[in-house]
Amino acid sequence: AQKVTQAQTEISVVEKEDVTLDCVYETRDTTYYLFWYKQPPSGELVFLIRRNSFDEQNEISGRYSWNFQKSTSSFNFTITASQVVDSAVYFCALRPGTYKYIFGTGTRLKVLA
Amino acid sequence: GAGVSQSPSNKVTEKGKDVELRCDPISGHTALYWYRQSLGQGLEFLIYFQGNSAPDKSGLPSDRFSAERTGGSVSTLTIQRTQQEDSAVYLCASSPLQGTQYFGPGTRLTVL
């Protein structure tokens, strides 16, 4: 089965706190890609990052960082020093083959001032 | 450069009417996807195009839904005899072959 689980439905943090959004995936494919998208209140999904299954190196982009661990089939996303503008729904997605994306149900992040 | 565009941004229709939703992908993107997102829900895959062909239509919920793509560019999603349960945001995304998807702003469809 191919599946993405985002167990956290909603998270609320106070501004400047760090927050980690969890993503666990299932696939039998050895080659696959993982993605994170942000959907702010405006509604348009914004691409954040893509990772292939052969690259477990963690990545940092400003306040954002991603931790990919094949051993636990997880691709977690951490926002450091959260800001109100980070409030959005965040989707994790898996692409096990050449085209089809499997999305998680999303985590709604609320950052309170 | 220009991103994925969709029109209309909002559509209100009466139950039983047909609607057409349009997607203009990023120039040069060969793959095009349609998704549906109901209020507060995740993304439901509808159909995938590679060029003008649709090798995967598995997500279309009923035969009232159809889609086409012409010239390897613009795509139209048509819903016939709309029902209230069709109310949702319809999202289009495009990508280069095996590349990353980029999404349009969506069309919010309301069926009264």
> Which class for A53: exposed (0-12), middle (13-18), buried (19 or more C-beta within 10 A)?
middle
Tell me whether A43 touches chain B (CB under 8 Å): yes
* Mean of pLDDT values over A19-43: 95
Task: State pLDDT tens for residues B37-91.
Answer: 998 788 999 999 999 999 999 999 999 999 999 998 999 999 999 999 999 999 9
pLDDT for res B39: 83
CB contact under 8 A, B48 and A43: no
**Which residue in A83, A89, A104 sits closest to A24, CA to CA?**
A104
Put simply, the chain B residues between 26 and 85 with a CB less than 8 A from any chain A CB are 31, 33, 41-43, 45, 48, 50, 56
Cα A87 from Cα A13, distance rounded (Å): 10
Please list every residue in chain A whose beta carbon sits closer than 8 Å to the beta carbon of residue B93: 45
Q: Can you tell me the mean pLDDT for A84-106?
A: 94
Exposure string (b/e) for B70-109, b if CB count within 10 Å is 16 or more?
Answer: eebbebebebeebeeebbbbbbbbbbeeeeebbbbbbbbb
A44 touches chain B (CB under 8 A): yes
The answer on pLDDT for A8 being more than 70 is yes
| pLDDT > 70 fraction of chain A, expressed in percent and rounded | 100
Mean pLDDT of chain B, nearest integer: 94
Q: Bridge-partner residues for B94, per DSSP?
A: B32, B102
